[in-house]
Amino acid sequence: MFNIILFGPPGSGKGTQSEKLIAAYGLIHLSTGDLLRSEIAKQTSLGIEAKIIMDKGQLVPDAVVVGMISSALDANPQAGGFLFDGFPRTVAQSEALDTLLSLKNTEIGVVLALDVSEEELVKRLLNRGLTSGRSDDNTESVVRARITEYHAKTSVVARYYGQFNKVVHVKGEGSVAEIFTLLCSEIDKRLS
């Protein structure tokens, strides 16, 4: 089993590259953002609570997302590997993920970190907000709040996995195809 964390700030291309990577490597895509938006669409109590926080650009509580990931891991016992997108986002989530994976006798193989400048992130997200219907892409203040939250709570996740030599930085600017090639070459190095 080979598990990957696709890491990076909001708008760095995690979702875009995840779609291509799961197809190429037969991985199960676990995006906590997508799982939360599906709860919002179904108007569950979890979704209603989470939307209030997401609309401010803040992180939902660790216990909520760790619970969702734990259920998703249990629901896919035959998986050849998982691609985590937008999770873990705090050191507490990272530690919880490592524990959940070790209970299944597996671990994170690599953390691929997409590097994109802040101006480019804001440009991409506001542009997507014109058509996506995502309420957290609509206003520049919320987009910037998400980036601030990333610097305050999430960037330390790279340092956490760095202590185990698992982090590789990849240039996240350029064409989608170019970035995909760079990501594949890092994965292939570790699979061979």
Q: Which of 14, 37, 124, 166 is catalytic?
A: 14
Q: Let me know if 128 is a catalytic residue.
A: yes
Single out the catalytic residue among 37, 51, 89, 124: 89
Reading phi first (left if > 0) and then psi (alpha if -120 to 50, else beta), residue 189 is in alpha
Residue 129 makes contact with ligand AP5 by CB under 6 A: no
**Closest CB to ligand AP5: residue number:** 33
Helix (H) or strand (E) holding 38: helix 32-41
- The correct pick among 28, 40, 46, 53 for binding ligand AP5 (CB under 6 A) is 53
Closest CA to 150 of 51, 33, 59, 46: 59
Q: Compose the 82-121 pattern: x for residues touching ligand AP5 by CB under 6 A, - for all others.
A: ----xx-x---x----------------------------
**Cis, bond preceding 88 (omega within 30 deg of 0):** yes
Give me the DSSP letters along 148-161: HHIIIIITHHHHHH
Whole-number minimum distance, CB 54 to Mg ion, in Å?
12
Is residue 13 involved in binding ligand AP5 (CB under 6 A)? yes
Q: Which is nearer to ligand AP5, 82 or 87 (CB)?
A: 87
Q: Which residues bind ligand AP5 (CB under 6 A)?
A: 8, 10-16, 32-33, 36, 53-54, 57-60, 65, 86-87, 89, 93, 124-125, 128, 136, 146, 176, 179
